[in-house]
Chains A and B, each alone.
Chain A
Amino acid sequence: MNLATGAFFVFAAGAIATAILMITRKNAIPAALCLIAHFFCLSGLYLTLQAQLLATMQILVYAGAIMVLVVFVIMLLNLGEEAKHAKASQLRPLAVVVFVGILALQLLALLMGQQSAYTELPPKASLVGSVGELGRVLYTDYLFPFEAVSLLLLAAVVGAVVIAKRQLDN
Chain B
Amino acid sequence: MPQSIPLEYYLALSGVIFCIGAIGVLTRRNAIMIFMCIELMLNAVNLTLVSFSSYLGDTAGQIFVFFVMTVAAAEAAVGLAIMLALFRTKQTVYVDDANLMRW
A residues with a Cβ closer than 8 A to B are 1-2, 4-5, 8, 12, 15-16, 19-20, 22-23, 28, 31-32, 35, 38-39, 42, 45-46, 48-51, 53-54, 57-58, 61-62, 65-66, 69-70, 73-74, 76-77, 79, 82-83, 85, 87-88, 92, 95-96, 99-100, 102-103, 106-107, 110-111, 116, 118-122, 124-125, 128-129, 133-134, 137-138, 142, 145, 149, 152-153, 155-157, 159-161, 163-164, 166
Contact = CB atoms under 8 A, between A and B. Distances in A.
Given A137-B59, A153-B73, A70 B35 contact: yes
B93 A77 contact: yes
Contact of B80 (A73, A99, A100, A137): A73
Interface residues of B, number: 72
14 contacts: A15-B17, A61-B69, A61-B73, A62-B39, A76-B84, A85-B96, A95-B27, A96-B26, A103-B19, A110-B11, A118-B6, A124-B57, A149-B67, A163-B82
A42 B57 contact: no
Interface string B67-83: 10111111111101111
The secondary structure that dominates the A interface is: helix
Given A134-B59, A134-B66, A137-B63, A66 B47 contact: no
Given A87-B96, A153-B74, A120 B8 contact: no
Interface of B: 1-13, 15-17, 19-24, 26-30, 32-33, 35-37, 39-40, 43, 46-47, 50-51, 53-59, 62-63, 65-67, 69-78, 80-85, 87-88, 93-94, 96
